[in-house]
Structure 1
Amino acid sequence: MQFDYELAPQLGERATIGLIALQSDETVEHDMRRMLPLEGVATYVSRVPSGAEVTNDSLAEMEGNLTGAARLFPLPATFDVVGYGCTSGTSVIGAEVVAGMVKKGCETNAVTDPLTALIAACGRLGVRRIAVLSPYVAEVNTALIAAMERAGLEVGLLGSFNEEREEFAARIAPKSIAAAAEALAKEGIFDALFLSCTNLRTLDVIDGIEAATGLPVLSSNQVLGWHMMQLAGVDPLARFGRLMR
C-alpha cells in the first residue's frame, strides 16, 4: 500500500547551525546544547580527527580534515553559521583558512571559531588588556598569544596547567579552573579574563569568577556560542555572562 506525502521545509525555522567538534573534545558539544536555544533552531554536529596530544603539529594536521568533517553534515541542509570548536587550532591554522576549508564542505552563510568569537566579544565589551588561562604547553600557548596580539588584544598575563594530553585537559576540575583564574586576576590590572580551550569545563564557574574578581570572564565555548547566535541573527535565550547584560 503506497501513500502520497507532502514535503516539509528544512528544520530550523529560526536558524540552522553546525558545530565541528574535535574528536578528542568531551565538552564543547555538551556546553552548546546547554547554552543555545533549541526552540526553532536546528543544530547539527560533526567531528574532525584530532590528536590525543596537543602540539602545534597535531593542531595543524586538522586543516586537511576540516572540509571532510563539514561534508558529514546532512547534505541538503544549508546553514546560517558553522562553528569550528578549537581555539588553539584556529591560532595555528588561521581563521580565514578554517572558514575556507569549512565552506568547501557545506553550504553556510558564515563560519566562526573561538578566537574570532573572542575578538568580537572583546570588541563588544571594550576589552583590550586580557589575562589568559590555558590548559596547554608553552608552544601551543605561544601561538595562541601571538594570534590574539595580531588581532589587537594585549595579553597581560598567561597562566597554564601545562597539560599536553587532551584527555586530561577535558577532566580538569571546574574548581581548579576557578582557583587558577582568580589567582591570575590578582597579578595585574586587566579588562577581562579569558579561559581558553573548548575542552575546559568553564560554564559553571564563570559567574563565580566574575563575582570574585569583578572582571568580565570569557571562555572559548561561551564566546563561540554567543557569536554563532549573533551571526545567525538569533537572540540567545541562555545567559552568556556579561555579554548578555
Structure 2
Amino acid sequence: MTALGFLYPGHSAEDDYPRMEQMLDSDVRLHVVHTDIGEDAHRVDALLEMGSAQRLTDRVEELRLTGAEAVVWACTSASFVFGWEGAHEQVRGLARAAGLPASSTSFAFAHAVREVGAARVAVAATYPEDVAGHFAAFLKSAGAEVVAMRGSGIITAAEVGTWGRDEVLALAREGDHPDAEAVLLPDTALHTAAYVAEVEAALGKPVLTANQVTLWEALRLAGRRVNAPGLGALFSREPVVQV
C-alpha cells in the first residue's frame, strides 16, 4: 500500500480526495490534513499568510502519523504568490519539517504540463485577474508559454467550493484558446475530480485541474504510476520523453 499526505487549506473541495482515491481503484490511500487558512481571500497578502511556514508546519506531525510517504501542499494560489524561488523555499521548508519528499500544487502544474507534452497553455482561473497573473508568471518561469489567461474575480474559496459541473465546464470553455495544447484550472477549492474526463472530451485536449495534478504529483514523489482514465489524459497516457 502507498500512503500519500496532503496539507489542504480549510474546507472547500476536500471531498475530491476520497473521490479520487476511489477512481484510482488501487492500493493508494490519500490522507488529507487541514491547515488553518486565516482569512479566506484570493488576495496576495492573505495568500502569503495562508502559505506561511508556520501554518504549514503546525499540522505536519498529524500528517506524519498517517504513515504518508510524500506530502503535497494542496494549494495553488498560496504557493505561486511566493514566486518561483519563494515557492521552492516553501517546499524545502515543508520537506525538512515533514522529513518526507514534498511539493505543492503549483509545482504539480509545472510538472504535469511537461508530462502531457504541452508547450502552450491556457489558464482558466477562478481568481481575480491580478492573482491569476501571478500564476501565469509562475508557469512562464517553469518554461510554459501562456497563450491565454482568464480570471473569474472570485474572492473566497468558500464560494468556489459551491461550483459544480456546469460552472467548471463553462470556465474551461471560456478560458480555452485555439493555440493552447492544454487548459489549466487552478484552485484546489474547485470541485473537478468528477468532471475532468468530460471537460477534456468537450475541449478535445488535456485539462489539468488543481486537485487532479496534486494527486498526480504525490504519486510521482512516491514513485507510483496509476492508470485512471476518469482523471483525464494525465492519468491515462504514456509520459512524454524529454529530449
Indicate whether the TM-score tops 0.5: yes
Residue aligning to 2:44:
56
Taking only aligned residues, the RMSD between alpha carbons, in angstroms, comes to: 2.0
Q: Which amino acid aligns with 1:107?
A: G
TM alignment of 1:10-89, pairs within 5 A = 14-23=1-10, 25-27=11-13, 29-36=14-21, 37=24, 40-50=27-37, 51-61=39-49, 62-63=51-52, 64-75=54-65, 79-89=68-78
Q: CA deviation at 1:191?
A: 0.6
2:15 is paired with a residue whose SS is helix
Tell me the alpha carbon deviations over residues 156-190 of structure 1, each in whole angstroms, 9 at most, x when there is no partner.
111122111221111123202202312332x4311
User: Where in structure 1 do 4 or more consecutive aligned residues deviate above 6 Å?
Assistant: none
Change in CA separation of 1:160 and 1:173 when aligned onto 2, cut-off 3 Å: farther
Distance (whole Å) between structure 2 residues aligned to residue 230 and residue 104 of structure 1? 19
Alpha-carbon shift at residue 101 of structure 1 (Å) = 2.5
How do 1:74-113 and structure 2 match up within 5 A?
74-75=64-65, 79-93=68-82, 94-108=86-100, 110-113=101-104
Report the AA paired with residue 54 of structure 1.
H
Asked if structure 1 preserves the Cα contact closer than 8 Å seen for 2:129 and 2:150, the reply is no
Distance 2:150 2:59 in 1: 32
Partner of 1:10: none
Instruction: State the Cα deviation string for residues 113-148 of structure 1 (Å, max 9, x = none).
Output: 222111111112110111111111122112111111
Whether 1:124 aligns to 2:143 is no
Q: Greater CA deviation, 37-46 or 117-126?
A: 37-46
Residue 81 of structure 2 aligns to a residue whose secondary structure is helix
Task: List aligned pairs for 1:75-224, cutoff 5 A.
Answer: 75=65, 79-93=68-82, 94-108=86-100, 110-185=101-176, 187-224=177-214
**Structure 1: tracts of 5 or more residues without a match:** 1-13
Q: Look up the equivalent residue of 2:68 and give its one-letter code.
A: F
TM-score, length-scaled by structure 2: 0.85
Change over 3 Å in CA distance of 1:39–1:194 after alignment to 2: closer
Q: Which amino acid in 1 is paired with 2:208?
A: L
Establish whether residue 234 from structure 1 lines up as the match of residue 224 from structure 2. yes
Native 8 Å contact 2:186 2:209 kept in 1: yes
Instruction: Give structure 2 stretches of 5+ with no counterpart.
Output: 238-243
Residue identity in the other structure for 1:99: V
Once residues 202 and 30 of structure 2 are traced to their aligned partners in structure 1, the CA distance between those partners, rounded to angstroms, is 34
**Bigger radius of gyration:** 1
With normalisation by structure 1, the TM-score equals: 0.84
Displacement of 1:212: 1.9
Aligned to 2:241: none
SS at match of 1:65: helix
